[in-house]
Amino acid sequence: MTCSDYSQSETFQMTAPGRCSKKPAVSRPDSAFLEAKCLRFKHLRVSECAFVLMHPKAEKLVLEDCVWDHLAFSALPNAKQKRVHTIHLIGSSVSCFAFEDIFTKFPGLRELNFFPPPDEFDTMYDMVGEVFVQFGQALESLTFFNEHGLPFTSPLGSLKGLTNLKSLEIDLEFLIGFRTIPDSDCDEYLDSPFAADEDFDFDEERDSFPDWSFLELLPASLEKLIIWLDEPKIAVYFDTYERYGAKLEELLTADRFDKLEYVQAPLVGTVVKKLGGKLTGWAVDTCNRIKRVSTTTPSTDETPRVVDIGDGPMTDYEEDA
Protein backbone atom coordinates (compact mmCIF):
# COMPACT_ATOMS: atom_id res chain seq x y z
CA MET A 1 0.00 0.00 0.00
CA THR A 2 3.06 2.26 0.24
CA CYS A 3 6.24 2.32 -1.85
CA SER A 4 7.44 -1.20 -0.98
CA ASP A 5 7.70 -2.10 -4.66
CA TYR A 6 10.43 0.54 -5.07
CA SER A 7 13.93 0.69 -3.58
CA GLN A 8 14.83 3.27 -0.96
CA SER A 9 16.79 5.26 -3.51
CA GLU A 10 13.72 5.37 -5.76
CA THR A 11 11.43 6.61 -2.98
CA PHE A 12 10.96 10.11 -1.64
CA GLN A 13 8.74 11.17 1.25
CA MET A 14 7.50 14.65 2.00
CA THR A 15 5.63 15.40 5.22
CA ALA A 16 4.03 18.57 6.52
CA PRO A 17 6.34 20.53 8.85
CA GLY A 18 5.90 19.53 12.47
CA ARG A 19 4.76 15.99 11.63
CA CYS A 20 6.82 12.91 12.41
CA SER A 21 8.55 11.54 9.33
CA LYS A 22 11.27 9.03 8.47
CA LYS A 23 12.87 11.82 6.49
CA PRO A 24 13.00 15.51 7.35
CA ALA A 25 10.11 17.59 6.09
CA VAL A 26 10.97 19.58 2.99
CA SER A 27 9.36 22.59 1.40
CA ARG A 28 10.86 22.40 -2.09
CA PRO A 29 12.09 19.77 -4.56
CA ASP A 30 15.72 18.59 -4.27
CA SER A 31 17.91 16.05 -6.08
CA ALA A 32 16.50 13.07 -4.14
CA PHE A 33 13.00 14.17 -5.06
CA LEU A 34 13.84 14.55 -8.73
CA GLU A 35 15.39 11.07 -8.93
CA ALA A 36 12.54 9.27 -7.14
CA LYS A 37 9.96 7.10 -8.90
CA CYS A 38 7.64 6.71 -5.90
CA LEU A 39 6.57 9.93 -4.18
CA ARG A 40 4.94 9.68 -0.77
CA PHE A 41 3.18 12.70 0.74
CA LYS A 42 1.75 12.87 4.26
CA HIS A 43 -0.47 15.44 5.98
CA LEU A 44 -0.35 17.88 3.08
CA ARG A 45 -2.73 19.69 0.81
CA VAL A 46 -2.13 18.49 -2.73
CA SER A 47 -1.75 22.13 -3.79
CA GLU A 48 1.45 22.17 -1.70
CA CYS A 49 2.97 19.45 -3.86
CA ALA A 50 1.43 20.35 -7.20
CA PHE A 51 4.91 20.34 -8.70
CA VAL A 52 4.53 16.55 -9.11
CA LEU A 53 2.94 17.41 -12.45
CA MET A 54 6.39 18.54 -13.62
CA HIS A 55 8.30 15.59 -12.13
CA PRO A 56 10.64 13.90 -14.65
CA LYS A 57 10.50 10.30 -13.33
CA ALA A 58 7.52 9.78 -10.99
CA GLU A 59 5.54 6.56 -11.55
CA LYS A 60 3.61 6.19 -8.31
CA LEU A 61 2.03 8.63 -5.84
CA VAL A 62 1.07 7.68 -2.29
CA LEU A 63 -0.95 10.29 -0.41
CA GLU A 64 -1.57 9.61 3.28
CA ASP A 65 -3.91 11.84 5.29
CA CYS A 66 -3.77 14.51 2.61
CA VAL A 67 -6.42 16.87 1.22
CA TRP A 68 -7.15 16.86 -2.50
CA ASP A 69 -9.70 19.55 -3.36
CA HIS A 70 -10.70 21.44 -6.49
CA LEU A 71 -7.86 23.94 -5.99
CA ALA A 72 -5.11 21.31 -5.96
CA PHE A 73 -3.67 22.17 -9.37
CA SER A 74 -5.10 25.64 -9.93
CA ALA A 75 -1.57 27.03 -10.26
CA LEU A 76 -0.88 24.63 -13.16
CA PRO A 77 -4.18 24.49 -15.03
CA ASN A 78 -2.81 23.06 -18.28
CA ALA A 79 -0.12 20.72 -16.95
CA LYS A 80 -0.42 16.92 -17.09
CA GLN A 81 1.73 14.16 -15.64
CA LYS A 82 1.79 11.24 -18.08
CA ARG A 83 4.37 9.05 -16.30
CA VAL A 84 2.39 8.31 -13.13
CA HIS A 85 0.50 5.02 -13.49
CA THR A 86 -0.41 4.33 -9.84
CA ILE A 87 -2.04 6.50 -7.17
CA HIS A 88 -2.82 5.34 -3.63
CA LEU A 89 -5.04 7.58 -1.48
CA ILE A 90 -4.87 6.41 2.13
CA GLY A 91 -7.06 8.25 4.61
CA SER A 92 -7.00 11.26 2.30
CA SER A 93 -9.95 13.58 1.81
CA VAL A 94 -10.78 13.74 -1.91
CA SER A 95 -13.60 15.83 -3.33
CA CYS A 96 -15.65 14.48 -6.23
CA PHE A 97 -14.15 17.24 -8.40
CA ALA A 98 -10.69 16.01 -7.43
CA PHE A 99 -11.44 12.55 -8.82
CA GLU A 100 -11.86 14.21 -12.20
CA ASP A 101 -8.44 15.81 -11.64
CA ILE A 102 -6.98 12.38 -10.93
CA PHE A 103 -7.91 11.11 -14.38
CA THR A 104 -7.39 14.26 -16.43
CA LYS A 105 -4.11 15.37 -14.83
CA PHE A 106 -2.71 11.82 -14.82
CA PRO A 107 -3.80 10.35 -18.19
CA GLY A 108 -1.43 7.39 -17.78
CA LEU A 109 -3.18 6.24 -14.59
CA ARG A 110 -3.84 2.50 -14.54
CA GLU A 111 -4.15 1.70 -10.82
CA LEU A 112 -6.13 3.63 -8.18
CA ASN A 113 -6.52 2.70 -4.50
CA PHE A 114 -8.82 4.72 -2.25
CA PHE A 115 -9.31 4.37 1.51
CA PRO A 116 -11.59 7.17 2.81
CA PRO A 117 -10.51 9.04 5.95
CA PRO A 118 -11.99 7.89 9.30
CA ASP A 119 -13.85 11.16 9.93
CA GLU A 120 -15.58 11.57 6.57
CA PHE A 121 -19.09 10.21 6.11
CA ASP A 122 -22.41 10.96 4.35
CA THR A 123 -20.47 11.23 1.09
CA MET A 124 -22.39 11.10 -2.19
CA TYR A 125 -20.31 8.55 -4.08
CA ASP A 126 -22.69 8.43 -7.04
CA MET A 127 -20.96 11.58 -8.29
CA VAL A 128 -17.60 9.80 -7.98
CA GLY A 129 -18.99 6.82 -9.89
CA GLU A 130 -20.07 9.10 -12.71
CA VAL A 131 -16.55 10.53 -12.90
CA PHE A 132 -15.10 7.01 -13.03
CA VAL A 133 -17.31 6.01 -15.95
CA GLN A 134 -16.72 9.27 -17.82
CA PHE A 135 -12.96 9.59 -17.36
CA GLY A 136 -11.63 6.26 -16.11
CA GLN A 137 -11.90 3.99 -19.15
CA ALA A 138 -8.13 3.37 -19.11
CA LEU A 139 -8.15 2.21 -15.48
CA GLU A 140 -7.05 -1.43 -15.05
CA SER A 141 -7.01 -1.84 -11.26
CA LEU A 142 -9.32 -0.25 -8.69
CA THR A 143 -9.46 -0.68 -4.91
CA PHE A 144 -12.24 1.14 -3.07
CA PHE A 145 -12.33 0.11 0.58
CA ASN A 146 -14.44 1.36 3.51
CA GLU A 147 -11.90 0.44 6.17
CA HIS A 148 -13.71 2.24 9.00
CA GLY A 149 -17.26 1.17 8.12
CA LEU A 150 -18.38 4.77 7.69
CA PRO A 151 -21.90 5.44 6.37
CA PHE A 152 -22.34 7.25 3.09
CA THR A 153 -25.32 8.78 1.33
CA SER A 154 -25.10 7.14 -2.10
CA PRO A 155 -22.95 4.37 -3.65
CA LEU A 156 -20.73 4.48 -6.72
CA GLY A 157 -23.32 2.54 -8.66
CA SER A 158 -22.52 0.63 -11.84
CA LEU A 159 -18.90 0.38 -12.98
CA LYS A 160 -19.74 -1.34 -16.28
CA GLY A 161 -18.33 1.67 -18.12
CA LEU A 162 -14.79 0.85 -16.93
CA THR A 163 -14.27 -1.39 -19.94
CA ASN A 164 -10.54 -2.01 -19.36
CA LEU A 165 -10.78 -2.78 -15.65
CA LYS A 166 -9.06 -6.10 -14.88
CA SER A 167 -8.87 -6.07 -11.07
CA LEU A 168 -11.50 -4.77 -8.64
CA GLU A 169 -11.35 -4.88 -4.84
CA ILE A 170 -14.35 -3.18 -3.29
CA ASP A 171 -16.83 -3.17 -0.43
CA LEU A 172 -20.12 -4.48 -1.80
CA GLU A 173 -21.92 -1.51 -0.24
CA PHE A 174 -19.97 0.90 -2.45
CA LEU A 175 -21.83 -0.74 -5.34
CA ILE A 176 -25.32 -1.21 -3.89
CA GLY A 177 -25.69 1.25 -1.00
CA PHE A 178 -24.76 1.49 2.67
CA ARG A 179 -26.69 -0.69 5.12
CA THR A 180 -27.22 0.53 8.67
CA ILE A 181 -24.77 -1.09 11.07
CA PRO A 182 -26.43 -3.83 13.18
CA ASP A 183 -26.37 -3.53 16.95
CA SER A 184 -23.60 -6.05 17.56
CA ASP A 185 -20.88 -7.02 20.01
CA CYS A 186 -18.52 -7.56 17.08
CA ASP A 187 -15.23 -5.74 17.76
CA GLU A 188 -15.55 -4.05 14.40
CA TYR A 189 -18.80 -2.37 15.44
CA LEU A 190 -18.37 -2.13 19.20
CA ASP A 191 -19.37 1.33 20.45
CA SER A 192 -19.84 2.55 16.89
CA PRO A 193 -21.84 5.80 16.84
CA PHE A 194 -23.47 4.56 13.64
CA ALA A 195 -24.89 1.31 15.04
CA ALA A 196 -28.65 0.81 14.84
CA ASP A 197 -30.86 1.25 17.89
CA GLU A 198 -32.21 -1.87 19.57
CA ASP A 199 -35.68 -1.32 18.09
CA PHE A 200 -34.40 -0.67 14.55
CA ASP A 201 -36.64 -2.27 11.91
CA PHE A 202 -34.23 -4.31 9.76
CA ASP A 203 -37.06 -5.79 7.69
CA GLU A 204 -38.08 -2.31 6.62
CA GLU A 205 -34.44 -1.44 5.93
CA ARG A 206 -34.03 -4.50 3.67
CA ASP A 207 -37.22 -3.74 1.77
CA SER A 208 -36.20 -0.14 1.17
CA PHE A 209 -33.35 -1.13 -1.15
CA PRO A 210 -33.99 -1.98 -4.81
CA ASP A 211 -32.91 -5.33 -6.20
CA TRP A 212 -29.40 -5.49 -7.62
CA SER A 213 -27.26 -7.68 -9.86
CA PHE A 214 -23.52 -8.04 -10.38
CA LEU A 215 -24.28 -8.23 -14.10
CA GLU A 216 -25.46 -4.62 -14.02
CA LEU A 217 -22.68 -3.39 -11.75
CA LEU A 218 -19.43 -4.92 -13.03
CA PRO A 219 -17.52 -4.68 -16.32
CA ALA A 220 -17.05 -7.88 -18.33
CA SER A 221 -13.32 -7.16 -18.59
CA LEU A 222 -12.67 -8.28 -14.98
CA GLU A 223 -10.07 -10.97 -14.35
CA LYS A 224 -9.87 -10.62 -10.57
CA LEU A 225 -12.70 -9.67 -8.21
CA ILE A 226 -12.54 -9.21 -4.44
CA ILE A 227 -15.76 -8.32 -2.64
CA TRP A 228 -15.78 -7.29 1.02
CA LEU A 229 -18.86 -7.56 3.20
CA ASP A 230 -18.95 -7.44 7.00
CA GLU A 231 -20.15 -10.63 8.70
CA PRO A 232 -22.67 -8.91 11.00
CA LYS A 233 -24.31 -7.38 7.93
CA ILE A 234 -24.38 -10.71 6.11
CA ALA A 235 -26.43 -12.18 8.95
CA VAL A 236 -28.93 -9.31 8.82
CA TYR A 237 -29.18 -8.14 5.21
CA PHE A 238 -27.87 -11.04 3.11
CA ASP A 239 -29.04 -13.99 5.20
CA THR A 240 -30.75 -16.02 2.46
CA TYR A 241 -29.52 -17.49 -0.79
CA GLU A 242 -31.82 -15.24 -2.80
CA ARG A 243 -30.45 -12.08 -1.18
CA TYR A 244 -26.79 -12.88 -1.78
CA GLY A 245 -25.81 -16.35 -3.01
CA ALA A 246 -28.03 -16.14 -6.09
CA LYS A 247 -26.25 -12.90 -7.05
CA LEU A 248 -22.88 -14.69 -7.06
CA GLU A 249 -24.39 -17.62 -8.95
CA GLU A 250 -25.64 -15.26 -11.64
CA LEU A 251 -22.16 -13.76 -11.96
CA LEU A 252 -20.32 -17.09 -12.16
CA THR A 253 -22.67 -18.59 -14.75
CA ALA A 254 -22.80 -15.53 -17.02
CA ASP A 255 -21.04 -16.12 -20.35
CA ARG A 256 -19.83 -12.55 -20.67
CA PHE A 257 -17.63 -12.86 -17.56
CA ASP A 258 -15.43 -15.48 -19.23
CA LYS A 259 -12.25 -13.50 -18.43
CA LEU A 260 -12.81 -13.84 -14.67
CA GLU A 261 -10.06 -16.01 -13.15
CA TYR A 262 -10.24 -15.28 -9.41
CA VAL A 263 -13.10 -14.40 -7.09
CA GLN A 264 -12.87 -13.68 -3.38
CA ALA A 265 -16.18 -12.97 -1.66
CA PRO A 266 -17.96 -14.20 1.48
CA LEU A 267 -19.33 -17.73 0.93
CA VAL A 268 -18.55 -17.82 -2.79
CA GLY A 269 -17.14 -21.33 -2.34
CA THR A 270 -20.47 -22.44 -0.92
CA VAL A 271 -22.21 -21.19 -4.03
CA VAL A 272 -19.86 -23.17 -6.28
CA LYS A 273 -20.45 -26.32 -4.23
CA LYS A 274 -24.19 -25.85 -4.40
CA LEU A 275 -24.05 -25.63 -8.18
CA GLY A 276 -21.94 -28.79 -8.41
CA GLY A 277 -21.80 -30.13 -11.97
CA LYS A 278 -23.80 -27.19 -13.28
CA LEU A 279 -20.67 -25.06 -12.98
CA THR A 280 -17.34 -26.28 -14.35
CA GLY A 281 -13.90 -24.77 -14.42
CA TRP A 282 -13.77 -23.45 -10.86
CA ALA A 283 -11.82 -24.83 -7.89
CA VAL A 284 -12.82 -24.00 -4.33
CA ASP A 285 -9.78 -22.74 -2.44
CA THR A 286 -11.70 -21.77 0.72
CA CYS A 287 -15.35 -20.98 1.42
CA ASN A 288 -14.52 -17.37 0.52
CA ARG A 289 -12.17 -17.86 -2.43
CA ILE A 290 -12.33 -19.66 -5.78
CA LYS A 291 -10.01 -19.88 -8.79
CA ARG A 292 -10.63 -20.86 -12.37
CA VAL A 293 -8.88 -24.07 -13.43
CA SER A 294 -8.44 -26.06 -16.60
CA THR A 295 -11.42 -28.28 -17.37
CA THR A 296 -9.46 -30.72 -19.55
CA THR A 297 -8.13 -33.03 -16.84
CA PRO A 298 -9.74 -32.00 -13.55
CA SER A 299 -8.38 -33.58 -10.42
CA THR A 300 -10.46 -34.80 -7.51
CA ASP A 301 -9.42 -31.78 -5.47
CA GLU A 302 -10.65 -29.45 -8.19
CA THR A 303 -14.14 -30.94 -8.26
CA PRO A 304 -16.43 -28.98 -5.92
CA ARG A 305 -18.47 -30.95 -3.40
CA VAL A 306 -22.20 -30.25 -3.63
CA VAL A 307 -23.63 -28.72 -0.49
CA ASP A 308 -27.35 -28.17 -0.76
CA ILE A 309 -28.05 -25.03 1.24
CA GLY A 310 -31.40 -24.59 -0.51
CA ASP A 311 -33.24 -21.44 0.40
CA GLY A 312 -31.96 -21.35 3.95
CA PRO A 313 -29.63 -18.85 5.59
CA MET A 314 -26.36 -18.21 3.80
CA THR A 315 -24.55 -18.62 7.12
CA ASP A 316 -25.60 -22.28 7.40
CA TYR A 317 -22.81 -23.81 5.35
CA GLU A 318 -20.46 -26.72 5.74
CA GLU A 319 -16.92 -25.75 6.69
CA ASP A 320 -14.18 -26.83 4.31
CA ALA A 321 -12.20 -29.81 5.47
**Chain segment 308-321, per-residue pLDDT in tens:** 333 445 554 443 33
More confident site: 301 or 122:
122
Going 217 to 172 to 133 to 85, the CA torsion angle's sign is negative
In tens, the pLDDT along 208-267 reads: 999 999 999 999 999 999 999 998 899 899 999 999 999 999 999 999 999 999 999 999
**DSSP per-residue codes, 94-140:** E-HHHHHHHHHH-TT--EEEEE--TT--S-BHHHHHHHHHHH-TT--
C-beta atoms surrounding 81 within 10 Å: 18
* Domain residue limits, the chain: 8-302
**pLDDT for residue 34:** 87
pLDDT averaged over every residue in the chain = 86
CA 232 to CA 192: how far, in whole Å? 13
The Cα–Cα gap between 303 and 9 comes to 48
pLDDT of residue 299: 52
pTM over 0.95: no
Find the mean pLDDT for residues 174-191.
79
Phi, psi at residue 265, to the nearest 5°?
-160, 150
Distance CA 229, CA 211 (A): 17
Residue closest to 2 by CA, chosen among 125, 117, 86: 86
- As beta bridge partners, residue 235 has none
Q: Provide the pLDDT for residue 70.
A: 81
What's the one-letter identity of residue 235?
A
Half-sphere exposure of residue 173: CA atoms within 13 angstroms, side-chain side: 23
The answer for 276, left when phi > 0, alpha when psi is -120 to 50, beta otherwise, is left
